[in-house]
């Protein structure tokens, strides 16, 4: 029997992820022209207060260079403020501005709605799907 690409889990996973990202991006594009890294940084700051680039990097699964650039764009757009961390001068403290909090409040609603739609589509497979994603997200030892 030959190998079937369309039965292959990594492939199916990648296609699904791309598809879902596209659908979601179409939703929030109307509110703000954010890239995915920008959206993730914004969302993380919304739930975490003032944190460093390193913290964000660890949490949102993006390279630090990407987080750095996303933060700079968000700062220029007025959604994020960079200040220096008093204690350790190497660190930068990132936090949302008032405009950033407002934007995040709107995007948060959109995100919740979208997630509800997805879960409705999944029906009873939803919980198992969630568990599976968590399991697969674990990195193997380097």
Partner DNA sequence: ACCCTATCGTTGCTGATGCAACGAAGTCAA
Partner DNA sequence: TTGACTTCGTTGCATCAGCAACGATAGGGT
Nearest approach, Cβ of residue 13 and a second copy (Å): 5
Nearest approach, Cβ of residue 97 and a second copy (Å): 16
Distance between CA atoms of residues 76 and 98, nearest Å? 14
Q: How many residues bind DNA (CB under 7 A)?
A: 27
Task: Judge whether 94 and 82 are in contact, CB under 8 Å.
Answer: yes
Q: Which of 32, 36, 50, 77 binds a second copy (CB under 8 A)?
A: 36
Polymer length of the chain = 142
Should residue 64 be labelled a site residue for DNA when binding is judged by CB under 7 A?
Answer: yes
Enumerate binding residues for DNA (CB under 7 A): 18, 35-37, 52-55, 57, 62-69, 71-72, 82, 85, 87-92
């Amino acid at each position: 029997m030959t190998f079937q690409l369309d039965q292959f889990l990594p492939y199916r996973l990648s296609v699904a992820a791309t598809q879902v990202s596209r659908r979601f991006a179409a939703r929030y594009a109307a509110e703000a022209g954010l890239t995915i890294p920008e959206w993730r940084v914004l969302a993380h700051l919304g739930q975490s207060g003032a944190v460093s680039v390193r913290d964000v990097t660890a949490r949102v699964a993006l390279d630090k260079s990407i987080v750095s650039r996303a933060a700079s764009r968000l700062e220029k757009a007025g959604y994020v403020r960079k200040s220096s961390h008093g204690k350790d001068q190497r660190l930068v403290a990132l936090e949302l501005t008032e405009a950033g909090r407002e934007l995040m409040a709107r995007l948060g609603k959109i995100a919740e709605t979208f997630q509800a739609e997805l879960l409705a589509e999944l029906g009873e497979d939803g919980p198992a799907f969630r568990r599976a994603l968590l399991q697969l997200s674990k990195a193997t030892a380097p």
